[in-house]
């Protein structure tokens, strides 16, 4: 099993956009994220630590311009922090082990799936396709990812 943590080597390998989002709390422009339209089966992990964050089976098109999920794959890996920045009251979402800024959670998700929308920056994520999950050490999460059609 993985040990998920933040280290200077992982941070030094981030692109400028990934660093701005995860380390400085930035937001990628709406509609620009690499994973916005990704419909492949798999999981999304923290780009810094690799900790599992979201499953493709919980991803949906919210029309917001950012990847949206109804819930974290592992509640313990996602911290929700009260955010008063930019003149708004919001709930920021950060990874637990790497403390990466991921995005925000809002109470306007699909009501049939809990009503929450985890609005997440693609730059904070790395996608691992279902076919690669076992080899990359994420086999324990295969039951949370839909079977390929």
Q: Distance between CA 145 and CA 41 in Å, rounded?
A: 6
Residue 39's Cβ-count burial label (10 Å; 0-12, 13-18, 19+) is exposed
Q: Compute the average pLDDT of residues 31-60.
A: 96
Task: Give the largest Cα separation in the chain, rounded.
Answer: 44
Q: What is the structure's pLDDT at 1?
A: 46
Reported as a single tens digit per residue, the pLDDT across 80-90 is 998 777 676 77
More confident call, 5 vs 118: 118
Question: What class, spelled out in words, does domain 8-140 have in CATH?
Answer: mainly beta
φ and ψ at residue 9, rounded to 5 degrees: -65, -45
pLDDT-derived band at 2 (thresholds 50, 70, 90) equals: low
Q: What is the structure's pLDDT at 86?
A: 66
Could you give the percent of the chain with pLDDT greater than 70? Answer: 95
Q: Distance between CA 63 and CA 2 in Å, rounded?
A: 34
Q: Which of 14, 93, 119, 145 is catalytic?
A: 119
Catalytic site residue 99? no
């Amino acid at each position: 099993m993985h040990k998920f943590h933040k280290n200077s080597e992982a941070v030094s390998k981030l692109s400028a956009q990934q660093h701005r989002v995860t380390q400085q709390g930035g937001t990628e422009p709406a509609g620009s994220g690499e994973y916005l339209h990704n419909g492949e089966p798999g999981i999304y992990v923290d780009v810094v630590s690799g900790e599992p964050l979201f499953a493709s089976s919980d991803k949906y098109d919210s029309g917001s311009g950012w990847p949206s999920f109804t819930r974290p794959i592992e509640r313990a890996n996602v911290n929700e922090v009260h955010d008063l920045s930019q003149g708004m009251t919001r709930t920021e979402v950060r990874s637990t082990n790497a403390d990466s800024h991921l995005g925000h959670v809002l109470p306007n998700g699909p009501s049939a799936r809990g009503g929450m929308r985890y609005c997440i920056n693609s730059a904070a994520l790395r996608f691992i396709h279902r076919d690669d999950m076992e080899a990359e050490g994420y086999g324990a999460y295969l039951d949370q990812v839909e079977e390929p059609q």
